[in-house]
Amino acid sequence: MATLKEIGAELGLSPATVSRALNGFPEVNKNTVDRVREVAERLGYRPNRVAQRLVTGRSGMVGLIIKIRADMSADQTFFEMLTGLTAALGAQDTDLVLAVDQDDDPVLPYRKLMERDILDGFILNAPVPDDPRVAFLQEKGIPFVMHGQTAPDVDYACFGIDNAAVSADAVRLLTSLGHKRIALINGQSRYAFSVDRLRGFSKAMEAEGLSVPAAFMTSDAETETHGYTHALEMLAGRDGPSPTAFVCASTLVAAGVMRAVKDRGLSVPGDVSVMGHDDALPLTQARDLEPALTVTRAPLRDACQPLAELLVAHVKGAPAEQRIERAELIVRASTGPAPKGGETPWLST
Amino acid sequence: MATLKEIGAELGLSPATVSRALNGFPEVNKNTVDRVREVAERLGYRPNRVAQRLVTGRSGMVGLIIKIRADMSADQTFFEMLTGLTAALGAQDTDLVLAVDQDDDPVLPYRKLMERDILDGFILNAPVPDDPRVAFLQEKGIPFVMHGQTAPDVDYACFGIDNAAVSADAVRLLTSLGHKRIALINGQSRYAFSVDRLRGFSKAMEAEGLSVPAAFMTSDAETETHGYTHALEMLAGRDGPSPTAFVCASTLVAAGVMRAVKDRGLSVPGDVSVMGHDDALPLTQARDLEPALTVTRAPLRDACQPLAELLVAHVKGAPAEQRIERAELIVRASTGPAPKGGETPWLST
DNA sequence: TCAGACTTTCAAATCGTTTTAAATTCGGTT
DNA sequence: AACCGAATTTAAAACGATTTGAAAGTCTGA
């Protein structure tokens, strides 16, 4: 493996100049730069990352700790993020080190990995309100970037979508179609994104002068089955007039809801409108549902690049930056005007 | 972060002596070792791995490339291996770098990762016959360890179980119980382990003077559904007399088979015996099936430690070692004597 | 007492890069 | 001819560990 010294020897230059030439420093003679480039190319030079890391004090590795849940429902999500993150980090000359969280203490794996003293920072996901990991890492001064955020305003690096806006957008679309009774089938309530979605939903409904009984707002793991079960229950009419529209946590949940609607002998969107949020997972395409699903869309994959950039920049000393984007609203065939008889709102409780 | 120099300064020793003392070199005064240890402890010394790596020329990182399949059926397996490997490698001061294979070319991700010049070696899994990855890595002289093996005799480092023996053991148990018509519901035929299991199965049956029509030996992804579907078909009697026993690729497949047996109005093990191979995945416990499943057992988790050891040793210069172990045979409630009418073997084709 | 052997410690080199501070070259002025 | 400043380049230090070769110091036995 060629080194700076060898390239220098070949040209009668010092390693220092070669280093500068290759790193694009302005004070190097243009002619020299070309010659150095040529020789480096010919010798197949690759900088020794270990040596670079020794001198810069950074390790070039960031950690991702995955929590293995009993339900394993997060698999698709996990693989999608893993794929995107390794690619995006690789472009920044950074490697992803994985560890598995098998403990009860959410902070322990982070502590363990830091003790091994090889990581520059972490990528966190699935934030919960008052996330203990944030407190721990901030206290220790360890850089990290969060996918999502624990609260509307935070002071750490994060990237995500505006989850309150996600459900607010959905509500506005549905109310503009005349819907008054809109149900929410949300994700697990322990996660911050669910809290945000619920908040956005409630506020938007309130702004429209509408209210939603508790029975029509549920929280559960984002599976097809849960979508089906909850929707079936809500459409039974036991808790009051049935919803004419559903806002769902994910495409998968929406699929379950649509199945329930059909099993009740109703049609989408004739009798009931259904919306989902689309993370654009390759195996669960919103447009492939029948009818094609109207969604707020924010591909999970799109988050990987910004997450990698934000973290690497932060590790290199840049201030923690928050980037919250707005999910796209894509109207397809699963939403339509409220049906006859859908004009009656639920009574405010 | 404390360094060797700082510890040395504290004690009036040179970094060299401190290094030796901490690394247990014999030529250091016992008294000195104790004092060094004490100070190192007090200052919370951790060796700078990057510096270590620079001087030893090794990076201390090995790669695992995961292939994302459309069926995603390997999830549980993947998480189990990931958990075990990170732990086992961590004990050897080695980190696991993950990459995702999204390409058609099975070799490309290995080449890419080597070009980044940060890895000491690889852990490979899911070997196929004449695995192109093996050819590539051997040609480049890159150390690796294979979980399993591409053929009965290989010259690269590997750890796994004797898969031919797995089905041979199953066959011998079942024939000793009087079974003559034994079906095989195997894993996907493209994998070497399936090839080995089939070979062991065929040989053992042959040794007993029994033959199996092709219709009673299937290969498919290891899911509950596939087990169910294939068993249901085999029990329909369209292809000749039904099997009285099933040898299944996994616990999950066996669960499907048992469901099919029951749906056919038969009982396990009264009418039909069922065996599986148990990787001891936490969510799919063979003993929790009803009836408890007789299995050959080789916990996936147990492979992680040897794999880590073999690879790290190999990276450090040890010769490639092959370790093939025998799976344990655990007889539970799903196997019993062949039923009346089970004495007739299939006709040799 | 002193050579020789053994034990223990140290200075310095090394790994390959980045970076600081200093040196060199060169053309242009005065 | 001497000097200045800009443009390039270099020497050397630094990062923190390991390792080589040598140098102390200690002990043994004659």
Q: State which nucleotides on strand D lie below 7 Å from a protein beta carbon.
A: 7-12, 14-21
Are B61 and A117 an interchain contact pair (Cβ–Cβ within 8 Å)? Answer: no
- Evaluate if pTM is beyond 0.75: yes
For A282-313, the pLDDT digits (tens) are 888 999 999 999 999 999 999 999 999 999 99
Q: How confident is the model at residue B205 (pLDDT cuts 50, 70, 90)?
A: very high
Q: State mean pLDDT over B145-161.
A: 97
A338 phi, psi to nearest 5 deg: -60, 140
Residue B71 has pLDDT above 60, yes or no: no
For A242-259, the pLDDT digits (tens) are 999 999 999 999 999 999
Residue B148 has pLDDT above 70, yes or no: yes
Output the furthest CA–CA distance in chain B (Å, rounded): 87
For A182-231, the pLDDT digits (tens) are 999 999 999 999 999 999 999 999 999 999 999 999 999 999 999 999 99
Residue A68 has pLDDT above 80, yes or no: no
The reported pLDDT for the residue numbered B72 is: 52
Q: Which of B46, B67, B118, B304 to mutate to test the interface with A (most CBs of A within 10 A)?
A: B118
Residue B70 has pLDDT above 60, yes or no: no
Residue B74 has pLDDT above 70, yes or no: no
Footprint of strand D on the protein (CB under 7 A): A 8, 12-17, 20, 27-32, 51, 54-55, 57; B 1, 3-5, 15-16, 19-20, 22-23, 45-48, 51-52, 54-56
Residue A71 has pLDDT above 70, yes or no: no
DSSP A320-341: P-EEEEPPEEE--SS--PPPTT
Residue B127 has pLDDT above 70, yes or no: yes
Residue A74 has pLDDT above 70, yes or no: no
For B291-344, the pLDDT digits (tens) are 999 999 999 999 999 999 999 999 988 899 999 999 999 999 999 999 998 889
D9 closest protein residue (CA to C1'): A17
Are A72 and B48 an interchain contact pair (Cβ–Cβ within 8 Å)? Answer: no
Task: Point out the residue among A50, A75, A102 whose CB comes nearest to the CB of B54.
Answer: A50
Q: State mean pLDDT over A33-60.
A: 91
Q: Which of B79, B98, B142, B284 to mutate to test the interface with A (most CBs of A within 10 A)?
A: B98
Q: How confident is the model at residue A60 (pLDDT cuts 50, 70, 90)?
A: confident
Q: What span, in angstroms and rounded, lies between the C-alpha atoms of A257 and A181?
A: 15
Q: State which nucleotides on strand C lie below 7 Å from a protein beta carbon.
A: 7-12, 14-20
Residue of chain B whose Cα is closest to the Cα of A86? B99
Which residue numbers of B have CB closer than 8 Å to A's CBs? 1, 46, 48-51, 53-54, 59, 61, 66, 68, 70, 72, 75-76, 79, 82-83, 86-87, 90, 95-100, 102, 115-118, 283
Tokens standing for B63?
A: 């790669």
The reported pLDDT for the residue numbered A33 is: 94
Q: State mean pLDDT over A323-338.
A: 98
The Cβ of residue A130 has, within 10 Å, a number of other Cβ atoms equal to 10
Which of A173, A167, A169 minimizes the C-alpha distance to A273? Answer: A173
- Say which nucleotide is closest to residue A4, CA to C1' distance: C16
Residue A73 has pLDDT above 70, yes or no: no
Q: State mean pLDDT over B210-218.
A: 97
Residues in chain A: 349
Judged by DSSP in three states, B324 sits in: strand
Q: How confident is the model at residue A349 (pLDDT cuts 50, 70, 90)?
A: low
A and B: number of Cβ contacts within 8 A: 88
A311 close to A347: Cβ distance less than 8 angstroms: no
The reported pLDDT for the residue numbered A167 is: 98
Question: What proportions of chain B, in percent to the nearest 5, are helix, strand and coil?
Answer: 40, 15, 40
Q: What span, in angstroms and rounded, lies between the C-alpha atoms of B193 and B187?
A: 8
The reported pLDDT for the residue numbered B98 is: 86
For B261-298, the pLDDT digits (tens) are 999 999 999 999 999 999 999 888 999 999 999 999 99
Q: Which of A97, A116, A118 to mutate to test the interface with B (most CBs of B within 10 A)?
A: A118
Which of A15, A315, A329, A61 minimizes the C-alpha distance to A171? Answer: A329
Q: In the structure, how far is the CA atom of residue A311 from the C1' atom of nucleotide D14, in angstroms?
A: 27
Q: How confident is the model at residue A102 (pLDDT cuts 50, 70, 90)?
A: confident
